[in-house]
Amino acid sequence: MSGNPKETASSKPWGGRFAESTDKDVEGFTESISFDRRLFREDIRGSRAHVRMLARVGLLTPEERDQILQGLDRVEEEFAAGQVELRPDWEDVHMHVEKRLVHHAGPAGLKIHTARSRNDQVALDLRLFVRAAADRLTGELDRLLEATLRKGYDYRALILPAYTHTQQAQPVSGGYYFGAYAERLLRDRKRLQGVLDSAGLCPLGSGALAGTTLPIDREFVAAELGFSGVTRNGLDTVGDRDFVADFLHALSLLMVHLSGWAEEWILWSTREFGMVRLPDRLLTGSSMMPQKKNPDILELVRGKAGRVFGGYTGLLVLLKGLPLSYNRDLQEDKEALFDAVDTVAGSLLMMRLAVDGMSFETARIEEILGKTELLATDIAEDLVRLGVPFREAHAIVGRIVAHAAKNSCRLEELPDSDLALFFDRFPRGYASTLSPGGSVARRSHTGGPAPETVLQRFHEIWQEIFRTSPPWSPPPSSPGESGRGR
Ligand code: ARG
C-alpha cells in the first residue's frame, strides 16, 4: 500500500479517484451504518466463508487466512459489545467491519475485499438475515399455533355462534373456531418456509455486477453458508430483492390474519358481545375513566399491521423503477424489513399471550345461543332429506323463522301444530330433536365442525408441525373411521 496522496479522502476505500473529501451533509444523507449495523453478524459470517475460499484457491496464504479469521472474531466481539464507533464517513456495516478488521489483523486485512464487492456483500447479508429471520419467526408462529390448538382442545365441546356479515349464522364448536385460525397460521408457516427457498442461492461472486477475473470457488462459499447453490447472473443478482418482497408478502398476510383475529376479540370482549374475556395482566386502563379495561395489545396488533403493509408497498415502489444491477436506492430496503420482522415478532407474542390467557364467557354465550335462529339451515336440510327441493325448503323455513320470531319462540320449542302450518310431514316432536350441539355433531364430513373431525384435524396439524402426537389424546383409530360421513 503506497497510501492515498489525498489525505482528506483517504478514509474511504474508494478515495483514490477523488480530489477532495466528501461533504459532511452528503455523508450524513448517504450513510447506512445507523441501521445496517444490524447485519454485522451476517457480514462477518459471509466474510469468514469468503476468506476460507480465498485461501483454498491460493489468493491468501494459510497464515493470512488465520490472521483474518482471528481479526473477524475480534470485530464480532466488538460489535456485539457495542464498542464499534459508528462513523458516517465509513458509510455502512461492510466498511466498518473491514476497517476494524484491518485494525486488528493488520496488512492481511487489506486483502479481504479481494474478488468481492459491497454489492454482492449486501446481497449476501440480506439473504442470510432473511433466512434466519424467517426461521425465527416460524418458531414464534409455532408457539402461537401450539397455544391455538391447546385452547381449541380445551374448548372442543363449547358451542359457539359463528357469524357471516357479523350476523349470527350457524353453531360451531370452540375447537372448530380455533381450528380456523390454526389453518391460517399453517398457511402463513408454509409461506415463511417458502422464503427459505426464495433466498436459497448464494450471491457471493457476483462482484460489482459481472463477476471477477480471479479464480474464485463460488460453490465452496455457498456450501459453507448452507445455501443450496449459487445464483447464475451477477447483473440480476446484485439488484435482486425478490426474496425480501416474498418475505414481506408472507409477513403482510400473517399480519392480515393476526389483525382480523385481534379485531374479532376486540369486538367479542365488548360489553355488547361479552363473549371473550382477557385477564387483567393483558389489559390496560384509562388515565381518566376509572372503570375502563382496554384490550390495547389487540388494538396495537391491528394497528401495527399497517406498518408491515407499508413496508411491503414501499419496497415494491422502490424496486419498480430500477434498471438492472445495483442502484443505491436498494439501501432503502432494510429499515422496512427490520421493522417488519420486529413488528411481527412482537405481534405473534402478544397474540400468543392473548390466546393463552383468554377465556370464553360461557354463561353469556349460552344466553346468546338461547335467543338465536342458528338451526334454521339444519331444518331446511332435514326437509331436503324428506324430499323437498332445497329452494322450497329454504322458503318454508324462512316462514317458520318469521312465525317463531313473531311469537317470541325458539325454533327448538315450536310445537308440532305450529310446524304443521308450514309443512305437513315433519316427524312428531321434531323441534325438540334440534340442538346447537347436535347440529355441530351432525356436520362431521371432512372440514366440518363435528368434535371428532376437529380433533382428527388437530392431530394431523400437531403431527405435521411438532412431529409428535398431541399431548392430550390418543390418536384417533384411523383416518376415515373417525366420524367421516354419516
Ligand atoms: N450500504 C449499501 C446498501 O445498503 C451497501 C452497498 C453499497 N454499494 C455501493 N456500491 N455503494 O445497499
CATH number at residue 71: 1.10.275.10
Indicate the residue among 92, 114, 136 that finishes a domain: 114
Question: Does some domain include residue 480?
Answer: no
* Residues 350 and 397 grouped into a single domain: no
How would residue 477 be classed by pLDDT, with cut points 50, 70 and 90?
low
pLDDT score of 291 = 83
User: Quick one: 93 and 45 in the same domain?
Assistant: yes
Distant-in-sequence, close-in-space partners of 333: CB < 8 Å, separation ≥ 6: 126, 241, 244, 315, 318
Same domain, 132 and 275: yes
Chosen domain end from 367, 400, 421 = 367
Instruction: Show which of 414, 434, 454 is a domain's final residue.
Output: 434
Ligand 1 proximity of 173 Cβ (cutoff 6 Å)? no
Q: Is the pLDDT of residue 454 over 50?
A: yes
DSSP for 273-331, written as a single string: T--EE--GGG-B--SS-TT--B-HHHHHHHHHHHHHHHHHHHHHHHHHTPPSS--GGGG
From the alpha carbon of 328, which atom of ligand 1 is closest? Answer: 12
Smallest CA separation from ligand 1 atom 11, residue: 328
Rounded to the nearest angstrom, the distance between the alpha carbon of 328 and the centre of ligand 1 is: 6
Ligand 1 lined by 32 (C-beta under 6 Å):
yes
The reported pLDDT for the residue numbered 9 is 54
125 lines ligand 1 (CB under 6 A): no
Q: Are residues 257 and 358 in the same domain?
A: yes
Cα-to-centroid distance, 95 and ligand 1 (Å): 10
Q: Is residue 140 part of a domain?
A: yes
Task: Clarify whether residues 51 and 123 are in a common domain.
Answer: no
- Which residues have CB under 8 Å from 165's CB, separation 6+? none
Residue 475: which pLDDT band, with cuts at 50, 70 and 90?
A: low
pLDDT, average across residues 166-184: 95
Residue 480 confidence (pLDDT) above 80: no
CA–CA gap between residue 169 and residue 21 (Å, rounded): 71
Query: Looking at residues 115-129, what average pLDDT do you find?
Result: 97
Residue 255, pLDDT score:
98
Where does the pLDDT of residue 481 fall: very low under 50, low under 70, confident under 90, or very high at 90 and above? very low
Which mutation among 34, 94, 328, 329 tests ligand 1's pocket best, with the greatest number of atoms within 8 A of CB?
328
The response to whether residue 378 sits with its C-beta less than 6 Å from ligand 1 reads no
Q: Is 191 in the pocket of ligand 1 (CB under 6 A)?
A: no
Task: Quote the pLDDT of residue 5.
Answer: 39
Q: Is 118 in the pocket of ligand 1 (CB under 6 A)?
A: yes
Q: What is the mean pLDDT of residues 298-308?
A: 98
- CB-ligand 1 contact for 121 (6 Å cutoff): no
468 domain-assigned: no
Please state the domain count of the chain.
Answer: 3
- Residues 89 and 129 grouped into a single domain: no
425 and 398, same structural domain?
Answer: yes
Tell me which residues are annotated as active site: 165, 286
Say if 133 falls within a structural domain: yes
Q: Specify whether 145 is located in the same domain as 67.
A: no
Q: CATH number of the domain that 141 lies in?
A: 1.20.200.10
Could you tell me if 47 and 125 lie in one domain? Answer: no
- What is the distance in A from the centroid of ligand 1 to the CA of 11? 17
Judged against a pLDDT cut of 80, whether residue 306 lies above it is answered with yes
Cα dist. 63→51, 54, 215 in Å? 11, 12, 20
Q: Is residue 453 part of a domain?
A: no
* CA dist 209 → 83, 238, 289, 347, 433 (Å): 33, 6, 61, 38, 74
121 CA → ligand 1 middle, Å: 9
> Is 249 contained in some domain?
yes
Cα angle 94-100-105, degrees, rounded to a multiple of 5: 115
Given ligand 1 and candidates 86, 122, 318, 319, which is best to mutate, with the most ligand atoms within 8 Å of its CB?
122
Distance from the first to the final alpha carbon of the chain: 84
Average pLDDT estimate for 289-293: 82
- Which numbered atom of ligand 1 lies nearest the CA of 93? 1
Grid cell in block for residue 468: 409428535
Q: Tell me, in angstroms, the distance from the centre of ligand 1 to residue 111's CA.
A: 19
Q: Best of 98, 118, 322, 326 to mutate for ligand 1, by most ligand atoms within 8 A of CB?
A: 118
Ligand 1, residue 94: give the atom nearest the CA: 5
Q: How confident is the model at residue 206 (pLDDT cuts 50, 70, 90)?
A: very high
Query: Are both 289 and 359 inside the same structural domain?
Result: yes
The string of pLDDT tens digits covering residues 136-174 is 999 999 999 999 999 999 999 999 999 999 989 899 999
State if residue 331 touches ligand 1 by the CB under 6 angstroms criterion: yes
291 and 181 in a common domain:
yes
Task: Tell me the longest C-alpha to C-alpha distance in the chain.
Answer: 107
Best residue for ligand 1 mutational test, from 86, 119, 237, 241 (most atoms within 8 Å of Cβ): 119
- Atom 4 of ligand 1, residue of closest alpha carbon: 331
263 and 411 share one domain: no
Mean pLDDT, rounded, for 205-233:
97
Provide the 3-class DSSP secondary structure of residue 202.
strand
Three-state secondary structure call for residue 6? coil
For the segment 313-333, what is each residue's pLDDT rounded down to a tens digit? 999 999 999 999 999 999 999
Structure confidence by residue, pLDDT tens digits, 406-430: 999 989 999 999 999 999 999 999 9
Stated pTM of the model: 0.92
Residue 4 has pLDDT above 70, yes or no: no
Q: In whole angstroms, what is the distance from residue 331 CA to residue 30 CA?
A: 9
Single out the residue of 18, 233, 238 nearest to residue 122, CA to CA. 238
What is the C-alpha to C-alpha distance for residues 419 and 400, in angstroms, rounded to an integer?
Answer: 7
> Is it the case that residue 453 has pLDDT exceeding 60?
yes
Is residue 466 included in any domain, yes or no? no
- 475 domain residue, yes or no: no
- CA torsion, ordered 348, 350, 352, 355, to nearest 10 deg: -130
Residue 12: pLDDT band (50, 70, 90) is confident
388: domain CATH number is 1.10.40.30
- Can you give the residue range of the structural domain that contains 409? 376-434
Cα within 13 Å of Cα(343), Cβ side: 27
